[in-house]
Amino acid sequence: MKTLILMLAVLALAGCGAAQKPADTAAGTPAPATSAPPAATAGTDAAAAAAPNVIAELSDQTLIYECPKCGMMFDAAGNCSMGCGPLVATQVAYTCPKDNQAVAKAGACPRCPMNARVNKTAVAAAVVPDKH
């Protein structure tokens, strides 16, 4: 529970520091002539689109990318948005706590009154043998 509260607080603070688009740009009005040339902003937009998105709460994901230092979860490979380092591919499985059988998603178990158990397992990176 503490981890969830901490994660929500971090996400709220991260959202406060995000750059806001001007109202005229959001409404579809062309940007003023003082804006950066399209070639300069295209790379920035592509990098932002390629950045992994934070997963606030698991629902039915089976593969996530988790930061080994802070525990934040993301939807794609890359680096942690908190600056911790590279993300680790993690397999996610949901099981019934009563009979240990697979469940389709997180939340209420369809077979018992408890919530499904979430099991995370880091996916091992491919081992490349030395060429000596």
Domain coordinates in residue numbering, the chain: 53-126
CA dist 8 and 14 (Å) reads 10
pLDDT in tens, 21-54: 444 444 444 444 444 444 545 555 555 567 899 9
| pTM listed for this prediction | 0.58
Contact 65, 90 (CB under 8 A): yes
pLDDT in tens, 88-120: 999 999 999 999 999 999 999 999 999 999 999
The number of CA neighbours under 13 Å toward the Cβ of 125 is 8
Q: Give whole-number Cα distances, 11 to 66, 82, 129, in Å.
A: 15, 10, 40
